[in-house]
Amino acid sequence: MTQPSPETEPLVRAATLLSYRWTTRIITELDDNGPVARRRGSLPATFPDIPVDVLKTAVAGLRRRGLLRRETLSTGERQLRLTQAGTGLADVYDQLGRWARQHDYPGGQSDFVNRVEATLGLLRDPNTVTVLLNPHAPYEASRVARAVDAGLVRQGARVPWILTDTGRELRGPLAELQAWATANTALVQRVRHTRPAPPVAKVQAAIPGVAKGAALPGAVPRRSA
């Protein structure tokens, strides 16, 4: 597995941190509608699409990663609310979702949550982030397979690879993610980068020099909201 470079590591770690299951769904709900009371039944009522046991695990993980916190008000009421780091994700999600909607990524009738998570999947791949930051280097075809499949780069005439309009426009959301990672360095540094899942099989046939069945860099599979 290609390891992130010092330049790409904060971005890849941040994308990994935000790629945990249900993170986008829970964060955007609280950002849109405010804190959730910690009364019995309040959380399941707020997130009826998430099984109760899964919801408890997801919330515990978000608290552990520094994106949610519990707060007791002067009235004695307990709430679950976003931390400053969690609130700061609004602009990141907005730009990721806008880019994905504009470029129909990942395709089909994807909703906001799926679009954001699919784009984070792209940015979990250190190869893809490397190509976005420095597209003209002579990368082997297997290293740019994920980026080619997503329409971010194509083969060039005078240089091996060039960014497409789709790839250039992803640099804006990438910069927003980088700003969030810099503002939340302590949270991001605790994240361990893990191998992304393999991409779709059509990548193997789309790029010259990549043998069928070869292992390719990939991304987090699309999840349902």
Tell me, what's the pLDDT at 218?
Answer: 31
Which residue ranges in the chain fall short of pLDDT 50? 1, 197-225
Domain ranges of the chain: 1-225
Contact 125, 77 (CB under 8 A): no
- Does domain 1-225 correspond to CATH entry 1.10.1740.10? no
User: With pLDDT > 70 as the criterion, what percentage of the chain qualifies?
Assistant: 84
Q: What is the pLDDT of residue 162?
A: 92
Cα dihedral 71, 85, 198, 116 sign = positive
CA dihedral sign, ordered 127, 113, 88, 43: negative
pLDDT of the residue at 4: 66
Report pLDDT for 211.
Answer: 34
Model confidence pLDDT, tens digit, residues 35-79: 988 777 788 899 999 999 999 999 999 999 999 999 887 777 888
Here the contacts of 69-76 (C-beta below 8 Å, separation 24 or greater) are 70/38, 71/35
